[in-house]
Amino acid sequence: MFGARVKRIEDPALLRGRGRFVDDIQLPDLLHAAFVRSPHAHARIHGLDAAAALAVPGVHRVLTLADLRPHVATLRLPVAQPSAAIRQVLDPWILAEDEVCHVGEPVAVVIAENRYIAEDAAQLVAVDYEPLPAAVDARDAARPDAPRAHAGAPDNVVGAMTVTYGDVDAAFAKAAHTVKLSLKQHRGCGHALECRGVVAQFDAIEDRLTVWAGTQMAHRMQSILVALLQADEDKVRVVAPDVGGGFGPKFVCYPEDAVIPIAAKILGRPVKWIEDRREHFIATTQERDQYWDVEAAADGDGRLLAIRGALVHDHGAYSPYGVNLPYNSATNLIGPYVLPAYRLEIALIATNKVSATPVRGAGRPQGTFVMERIMDALARKLALERTEIRRRNLIPADRMPYTVPIKTRDGAAMTYDSGDYPACQARALEASGYARFAAEKARAAEGGRRIGIGVANYVEGTGRGPFESALVRIGPSGRVSIFTGATAQGQGLKTALAQICAAQLGVHPEDITVVAGDSATVPLGLGAFASRQAVTAGNSVHIAARTVRDKALQVAGHLLEAAPEDLELSAGRVRVKGADLSVALSDVAKAVAGMPGFSLPGGLEPGLESLVNWQPPTLVYCNGTHVATVEVDVETGAIRILSYVVVHDSGRLINPMIVDGQVVGGAVHGIGGTLFEWMGYDETGQPVTTNFAEYLLPAAPEMPRFDIHHMESPSPLNPLGVKGAGEGGTIPAAAAIVSAIEDALEPFGVVIDELPVTPARLIKFIQDCRESGQKVR
């Protein structure tokens, strides 16, 4: 089963409309919630009048922070993550108290018989706001005299850090070549198909709170609610049902995630809140808005000597995730290349925009974009082929494992565990026909068409710990079950875990029940983030299933009077090798389930199960190369992707079909961020893209056919040899596409320094070229 293209076991129910998402949960006496949200980017609150809303028939309560105060241990979400870089702790408020710091911040919640009544009543809640100056552009907000994103704050610097190693200044002093770049990467959103949602029910008899949430982190949400409510862990259950995509923003715990359970407790009735798309635009966390000023030094052959510079990161109004995002950007800049010296000064700046947290790639696409732009700039300066300058700088396979002299977030050395980066690039170039493209480009130009090709390499640290849980059990029914703190977001998690388990227990994956993201089934868990679950949960399942397998063979040996080494598991039975003698797994499980007054066989421990919380020693690094070809219409600025080749290495593949889907999905996400998606704010902090007519997403007609190739360099750091795959497709996409666009527009001298690449921006580049009198080749 391991390594096979097995169809996903999740899909039959989803395709037949039998999925169970948060909004599908209907409970007796269910009430519905709508939030009163700030229309201002920054304002002081002087008062709130809910009388008109309360007069609406069907409205039960309008709750403010004052109403929640007696029920919580703190008025802010306890989400802070420790970091020496933090200068200001900006945990989000459960509901705003006397100040709002971004458009969309929740101020109050209306609870009513249905969502229609709740929304209408929310419009009637009168809030007395005093608008305050807003911090909007992070570069301006970094100045000492800038408006404060939070009234009374000493400045807008949330945190600062330096990533550095080697003698940078000496490297620049001896450099034969240097290049400088200023790059801006726009703010974008996750936009999963399903928006956020929460349903909560409080059982007063058992004093137990049950929360269903579209979350990537059931156990973390449980721990936050436990801390907030000062409750025992067994009194708070969080369940992640079917989730229609996560991509990072659903790893965050939001004010709504706390308010809805508290409201259910206060009213004594279940309460549901389902986010609508406009709320998602103004209240769900976003990513990017990074400003880079960097300089690279190289020797006469184009080999890197050092990179130095500064990164200004738009942190948004609060810190619901920590300061990890820009650190990921800084460390991932190094990529698959030999970089002897490096220094980057990072400033995290608070602004009056929705908070910035990871979106697929978690800052890594931004760092990769910078390094690949440096590679293209050096290639131009040295008149070298773009792939050649990359080849000269790639870490050779014989230097693996390769340690970069900086630390990961958990304090471990940043060590690339396995891979052949030059071979990966070479294979991608061959698959894309790169060597033949110059002739194709010339023929196209003769016909008035501008086509170009671009390449980008990347690495990604995956499998982040500290652990993930897995309980593998064979019940007396003979049914195999897996329970895990990992969470399914549509990525095929249940299929992958079932395949791993099936390989050990000799059953079909579809005969295994996988329960993920339910805090009541296993005591510990972390969830979906950082391309981690195949590594962490996968190895926990593998080890647990092997333990169960070994015990099943021991028990069956007693039942069949055979040595365990003479037995094998197949099709739900334990068989004697080479003989027509077997026993069903159900009978094996019954033998150790216990019978009153009878001893267990062989003095074995009761039950046929194993709980494992496997801890990875450090990150494992996947890598890959993307090659994109594009056509640019110089009259309209339209960009069409003609072909897209991916060579991807995520170690041993559990299910290549699932990995293909993850790589394609990631690449589409990257294409969207490169060509379409832009989350705009005006000079007062008002969002100007709050629907899909204004904020563009890529659709099927804009997508090319993806040509995917896999390399497998098993990681030596986990029993399965696997690495993550969920984000790798996104990470190099922008760099590859932008390089291709520049190649297509080479006669115009276009150099792209900002994302997204819109038609209007391209037209301006071309017009500037023509107006300058530059000769178009």
Share of the chain above pLDDT 70, in %: 99
Single-letter code of the amino acid located at 649: D
Mean pLDDT across the stretch 634-650? 96
User: How crowded is the C-beta side of 117, counted as CA atoms within 13 Å?
Assistant: 16
| pLDDT tens track for 573-619 | 999 999 999 999 999 999 999 888 888 888 889 999 999 999 999 99
Query: What is the C-alpha separation between 32 and 454, in angstroms, rounded?
Result: 50
| pLDDT tens track for 266-320 | 999 999 999 999 999 999 999 989 999 999 999 999 999 999 999 999 999 999 9
pLDDT: which is higher, 477 or 1: 477
Tell me which DSSP letter residue 605 carries: P
| pLDDT band, very low/low/confident/very high, at 623 (cuts 50, 70, 90) | very high
Weakest mean pLDDT among 56-65, 145-154, 409-418, 668-677 = 409-418
For 174-215, give the DSSP string: T-SEEEEEEEEEEEE----SS--EEEEEEETTTTEEEEEE--
Question: What separation in angstroms does the CA of 763 have from each of 669, 702, 770, 774?
Answer: 24, 20, 11, 15
| pLDDT tens track for 136-186 | 999 999 999 999 999 999 999 999 999 999 999 999 999 999 999 999 999
Q: Are 459 and 625 in contact (CB under 8 A)?
A: no
> Among candidates 206, 38, 85, 186, which has minimal Cα distance to 757?
186
How many Cβ atoms from other residues are within 10 Å of residue 479's Cβ?
16
Share of the chain above pLDDT 90, in %: 94
Question: What separation in angstroms does the CA of 458 have from each of 82, 365, 407?
Answer: 28, 9, 18
Q: Are 681 and 136 in contact (CB under 8 A)?
A: yes
Tell me which DSSP letter residue 652 carries: S
pLDDT of residue 322: 85
Mean pLDDT of the chain: 96
Residue 268 structure tokens: 């004594």
Mean pLDDT across the stretch 220-230? 97
User: Based on the number of CB atoms within 10 Å of its own CB, is 28 exposed (0-12), middle (13-18) or buried (19 or more)?
Assistant: exposed
pLDDT of residue 719: 98
| pLDDT tens track for 500-535 | 999 999 999 999 999 999 999 999 999 999 999 999
Query: What is the C-alpha separation between 434 and 452, in angstroms, rounded?
Result: 10
pLDDT: which is higher, 413 or 50: 50
Tell me which DSSP letter residue 78 carries: -
| pLDDT band, very low/low/confident/very high, at 777 (cuts 50, 70, 90) | very low
Mean pLDDT across the stretch 357-384? 97
- Indicate whether 776 pLDDT > 90: no
Whether omega before 241 lies within 30 degrees of 0, making that bond cis, reads: no
Mean pLDDT across the stretch 121-127? 98
pLDDT of residue 131: 98
Beta partners for 126? Answer: 49
pLDDT of residue 774: 61
Query: What is the C-alpha separation between 422 and 684, in angstroms, rounded?
Result: 48
| pLDDT tens track for 391-403 | 999 999 999 999 9
User: Based on the number of CB atoms within 10 Å of its own CB, is 267 exposed (0-12), middle (13-18) or buried (19 or more)?
Assistant: middle
DSSP E strand boundaries for 191-335: 197-203, 208-213, 236-239, 271-274, 287-298, 304-316
- Sheet containing 271-274: give its strands across: 59-63, 106-112, 31-37, 271-274, 197-203, 208-213, 236-239
Beta partners for 17? Answer: none
Mean pLDDT across the stretch 352-359? 96
Domains delineated in the chain: 11-132+191-283 (3.90.1170.50), 287-464+617-771 (3.30.365.10), 468-614 (3.30.365.10)
Q: What's the CA dihedral at 393, 396, 401, 403 to 10 degrees?
A: -20
pLDDT of residue 773: 63
Mean pLDDT across the stretch 711-738? 97
Residue 141 structure tokens: 């907000």
Mean pLDDT across the stretch 95-101? 98
Residue 192 structure tokens: 């999963």
Reported pTM: 0.96
Exposed e or buried b for every residue in 84-121, given b needs 16+ CB within 10 A?
ebbbbebebbbbbeebbbbbbbbbbbbbbeebebbbbb
